[in-house]
């Protein structure tokens, strides 16, 4: 892995009387060369939040859970992310890993798919395409998860690489070393994101239409993602790539995959 990373997390807590508190967790020295016990963990409430015993709880039991999660994350970086989703071929054209090389590991993820030969949406290229839906659950609010996909710094954090993200309607994005790019075509704050999206090795000017719906499930958010216009030959690679390099990476980076208590 190499290097030292600054990680910032956000947390939400609720008192016995029902008062909700929001705060942040900053870890400035995460590295594979540091023991988890040596991590500097700074926990604070957001501005104007009233005092609460939750801060002490987060600094004690919460910090222990954070160290456990970050220890797993460092192992994830060493064994999983370094394999790379997109690999160069002999002629220099990037190619996603095969399904046998990239498998999803989220137990809650459910996939339903159906074949389609209709012309892909938002493209003039006619090729056999498919549509399918993936659902996953994140332990955060719809508003926070919505922001993860539109904020450039947060995208760079969970992809662990430079990215360009203009989080507005009509704004363009490019990430994973330019191997994934597209445009936001519809934004409904905290509820829905619609984008034109493609791998760089897909047929020229061919985009899939991907719709993200953020469903409030009390203390967690169900993310329903609908894919239309994905080339038939790229269905499994697209599913694996999203589950591994979006969903799993977001959970690992921001702590949305496991409860602290």
Percent of the chain with pLDDT over 70: 71
Q: How far is residue 103's CA from residue 92's CA, in Å, rounded to a whole number?
A: 25
The CATH number that domain 129-254 falls under is 3.30.530.20
pLDDT, tens only, 89-116: 333 444 444 444 444 444 444 555 554 4
pLDDT of residue 78: 55
pLDDT, tens only, 196-229: 999 988 988 899 999 999 999 988 999 999 999 9
CATH topology of domain 5-80: Bactericidal permeability-increasing protein; domain 1 (3.15.10)
Q: What is the mean pLDDT of residues 47-57?
A: 76
Report the candidate in 165, 198, 138, 158 with the shortest Cα–Cα distance to residue 5.
158
pLDDT of residue 74: 66
Confidence bin at 8 (pLDDT 50/70/90): low
pLDDT of residue 261: 37
Please give the model's pTM, rounded to 2 decimal places: 0.55
Confidence bin at 17 (pLDDT 50/70/90): confident
Going from N- to C-terminal start, the domains of the chain cover 5-80, 129-254
Pairing of strands 110-116, 94-96: unpaired
User: Of all residues in the chain, what percent are helix, strand and coil, respectively (each to 5)?
Assistant: 30, 35, 35
pLDDT of residue 14: 73
């Amino acid at each position: 892995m190499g290097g030292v990373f600054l990680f910032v997390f956000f947390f939400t807590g609720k008192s016995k009387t029902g008062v909700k508190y929001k705060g942040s967790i900053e870890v400035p020295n995460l590295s594979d060369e540091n023991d988890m016990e040596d991590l500097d963990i700074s926990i604070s409430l957001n501005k104007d939040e009233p005092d609460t015993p939750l801060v002490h709880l987060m600094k004690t039991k919460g910090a222990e859970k954070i160290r456990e999660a970050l220890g797993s994350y460092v192992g994830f970086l060493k064994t999983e992310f370094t394999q790379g989703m997109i690999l160069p071929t002999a002629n220099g054209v990037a190619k996603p890993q095969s399904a046998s090389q990239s498998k999803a590991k989220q137990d809650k993820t459910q996939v339903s798919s159906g074949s389609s030969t209709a012309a892909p949406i938002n493209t003039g290229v006619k090729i056999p395409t498919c549509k399918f839906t993936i659902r996953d659950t994140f332990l955060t609010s719809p508003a926070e998860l919505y922001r993860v996909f539109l904020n450039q710094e947060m995208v760079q954090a969970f992809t662990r690489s430079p990215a360009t993200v203009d989080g507005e309607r009509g704004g363009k994005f490019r990430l994973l070393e330019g191997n994934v790019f597209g445009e936001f075509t519809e934004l409904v704050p905290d509820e829905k994101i619609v984008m034109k999206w493609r791998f760089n090795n897909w047929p020229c000017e061919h985009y899939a239409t991907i719709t993200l719906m953020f469903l409030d499930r009390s203390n967690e958010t169900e993310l329903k993602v609908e894919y239309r216009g994905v080339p038939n030959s790229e269905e499994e690679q697209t599913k694996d790539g999203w589950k591994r390099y979006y969903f799993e990476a977001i959970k690992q980076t921001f702590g949305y995959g496991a409860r602290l208590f």
